[in-house]
A and B are shown apart, each in its own frame.
Chain A
Amino acid sequence: MSSSSSSSCLLNDLINLKLSETSDKIIAEYIWIGGSGMDMRSKARSLPGKVNDPTQLPKWNYDGSSTNQAPGDDSEVILYPQVIFKDPFRRGNNILVMCDAYTPAGQPIPTNKRFNAAKIFTHPDVAAEEPWYGIEQEYTLLQKDTNWPLGWPIGGYPAPQGPYYCGVGADKSFGRDIVDAHYKACLYAGINISGVNGEVMPGQWEFQVGPCVGISSGDQVWVARYILERIAEIAGVVVSFDPKPVQGDWNGAGAHCNYSTKSMRNDGGLDVMKKAIEKLSLRHKEHIAAYGEGNERRLTGRHETADINKFSWGVANRGASVRIGRETEKAGKGYFEDRRPASNMDPYVVTSMIAETTILWKP
């Protein structure tokens, strides 16, 4: 029996085999969203050669009865490949493929939110406005067997919030190796990850994806989440997207959505923004209903949130539902931030709904 360090080296050598030296074949990891709307699933297949274009990838299928998406006696759910990213785990010419799910008859299954979002983004009025999104994905790292946040003492709590936001040090920053590995892995994959930071609650982190145009925002956020889950799996740590993982005087986790259209980015944009925010205020309840389960535990009006029942907006106001940056106010154009979405929101739903309300909907 070999010692554990030499055996993990040998295992790593196999995992890191450079297949392109002996074969043209590549491995494609097909990724989809499971029956809960938040669980990610994936499986891999071999393909005879390198592929750059998702339209050249074969459709596939999976056992929907094992993911709560089909009955056992009619279990096939079809995967349509939509976007290709480079695989940071297998490297070489191997790829990750983000898919959405359909019945054999070609209908999107109920949990397929991408289909509807794509319809909204291809509407000529929406496409003409080139909607840009920057999503700030917060998440909490948990210890595996206790589901208690990483770095927290079992059966107890760390010192109160204060030192942890963007903090550094073994007593303030828990899990940076996961965060840094994720950052590089996403850049390698081709995801437009724009930054990372440690969050206010210890063990909580944030990464930002954007600016992305239209449906690409949802695609990239989902694949970034998948890569994060894979990296945490390697590290033996659990990722939580719960919007309020610990009750009490601890920040929740959100997915603030920064948004602009072509008109907002041009001169006179501030007025366009104010009209858009007004429309959002008129559909506050509808948006909140679609902004993530359990958000009422997070949007309390404290801990840098606005109360879930009230719509408010303000310049540089982190206690508002929608925030406009000082720079945007000064320039008279730019973007605004919808701070309401929870960390467990579906980016396909949120991004398309904001576009739909602000561009298509008439009060």
Chain B
Amino acid sequence: MSLLTDLINLNLSDCTEKVIAEYIWIGGSGMDMRSKARTLNAPVDDPKKLPQWNYDGSSTGQAPGEDSEVILYFINSQSCQIDRFGIEQEYTLLQKDVKWPLGWPVGGYPGPQGPYYCGVGADKAFGRDIVDAHYKACLYAGVNISGINGEVMPGQWEFQVGPAVGISAGDELWIARYILERITEIAGVVLSFDPKPIPGDWNGAGAHTNYSTKSMREDGGYELIKKAIEKLGLRHKEHIAAYGEGNERRLTGRHETANIDTFLWGVANRGASIRVGRETEKNGKGYFEDRRPASNMDPYVVTSMVAETTILWKP
């Protein structure tokens, strides 16, 4: 099988100018990622120079069979310079045929939560090779991945993307998700973004969204942060509706979440809807963390909605 690896790792630039471009898009469920590849005559730096392409939307639930072409436009990141996002993407790794978390005994459960958060050891950390491969692959790709850690539920992990400005937060998170799907595919493991993969005394998976605007990062910013949080409190139901399917199974008020029907904020409080860090409180400026989004949220929706409510919306 090393012959196969040799071929996969062929260094094309030794013998041709041609490059392969993998075009990636989001499919009909809003969470399934799709991709296909094409050859280009030479390396391309600028997305404007990429050809538009199309795909069979009837196979992804996005177009009828008799009019199935969906056109792919490249993304041109003209981002707003003001808002900055950092997204903490949690996810669970599942064994392929049983869809039971990686490292869990089939037909049973591991020891209770406690030893697994940032843990090390064959009985505490399941799937680190996937996580480490993903970290380097994202950095190689130019994705602004800022860190990783093992999570409270065994088999669950987290990576963070950011700080990213404006729409690039959504772009980078989707690409990071795609790269993770490709790596778990190689490893023969299934990736789940379900917000509560296992009911009971097991943490769910979220996508906490850290946010700041230019004024929040400057002196006096803490007052603006409080005003922004107040506005978010007034639109709690609307945000929750857009923060991911199945979130009611996760936001119970236990397992480091706030109850889905309650809006609550606090400094260093992991049981709140919105958490402000101690450093931000001390400095009088900084950022805050919206802990409500589920792991299966759409970052385009969440980031733009947070910006819209806090900057544009008037109560």
Contact A15 B269 (CB under 8 A): no
Contact B114 A2 (CB under 8 A): no
Given A3-B1, A233-B125, A41 and B119 touching (CB < 8 A)? Answer: yes
Minimal Cβ-Cβ distance residue in A for B256: A72
Contact for B122 among A5, A11, A232, CB less than 8 A? A232
Q: How far is the CB of A200 from chain B (nearest CB, A)?
A: 24
Q: Which residues from chain B contact A45 at a C-beta distance below 8 Å?
A: 146-147
Residue A39 at the B interface, CB < 8 A? yes
Residue B71 at the A interface, CB < 8 A? no
Q: Bits for B97-123, please: 1 = Cβ < 8 Å to A, else 0.
A: 000000001000000001101111111
Contact A41 B4 (CB under 8 A): no
For window 82-138 of chain B, which residues contact chain A by CB distance below 8 Å?
A: 105, 114-115, 117-125, 128-130, 132-137
Q: Bits for A10-29, please: 1 = Cβ < 8 Å to B, else 0.
A: 11011101010011010100
Contact A19 B277 (CB under 8 A): no
Given A65-B270, A75-B270, A235 and B122 touching (CB < 8 A)? Answer: yes
Residue B70 at the A interface, CB < 8 A? no
Contact A19 B256 (CB under 8 A): no
Minimal Cβ-Cβ distance residue in A for B158: A43
Minimal Cβ-Cβ distance residue in A for B117: A66
For the complex, give the distance between the alpha carbons of A72 and B255 in Å. 10
Contact A6 B1 (CB under 8 A): yes
Contact A233 B256 (CB under 8 A): no
Minimal Cβ-Cβ distance residue in B for A70: B268
Contact A39 B119 (CB under 8 A): yes
Contact B120 A43 (CB under 8 A): no
- The total of Cβ contacts below 8 Å across the A-B interface reads 142
Q: Please choose the segment from B57-65, B181-189, B215-223, B232-240 that sits at the chain A interface, where 4 or more of its residues have CB less than 8 A away.
A: B181-189
For the complex, give the distance between the alpha carbons of A41 and B167 in Å. 34
Residue B311 at the A interface, CB < 8 A? no
Residue A7 at the B interface, CB < 8 A? yes
Q: How far is the CB of A3 from chain B (nearest CB, A)?
A: 5
Q: How many residues of B contact A (CB 8 A)?
A: 50
For the complex, give the distance between the alpha carbons of A6 and B282 in Å. 52
For window 285-344 of chain A, which residues contact chain B by CB distance below 8 Å?
A: none
Q: Which residues from chain B contact A213 at a C-beta distance below 8 Å?
A: none
Contact B132 A230 (CB under 8 A): no
Contact B269 A73 (CB under 8 A): yes
Contact for A11 among B1, B120, B133, B279, CB less than 8 A? B133
Contact B140 A76 (CB under 8 A): no
For the complex, give the distance between the alpha carbons of A67 and B124 in Å. 13
Residue B145 at the A interface, CB < 8 A? yes
Contact B266 A73 (CB under 8 A): yes
Given A46-B147, A68-B114, A238 and B122 touching (CB < 8 A)? Answer: yes
Contact A9 B5 (CB under 8 A): yes
Minimal Cβ-Cβ distance residue in A for B120: A229
Contact B136 A14 (CB under 8 A): yes
Q: Bits for B198-215, please: 1 = Cβ < 8 Å to A, else 0.
A: 000000000000000000
Q: What would 17 more interface pairs be, CB under 8 Å, given A17-B139, A72-B270?
A: A6-B2, A6-B8, A7-B186, A11-B130, A14-B137, A14-B183, A15-B133, A15-B136, A42-B118, A42-B120, A43-B150, A46-B145, A74-B268, A229-B121, A230-B120, A233-B122, A233-B128
Sorted nearest first, the 3 A-B pairs with minimum C-beta distance are A43-B149, A14-B133, A41-B118
Residues of B within 8 A of A (CB): 1-2, 4-5, 8-9, 105, 114-115, 117-125, 128-130, 132-137, 139-140, 145-150, 152, 183, 186-188, 256, 266, 268-271, 277-279, 282
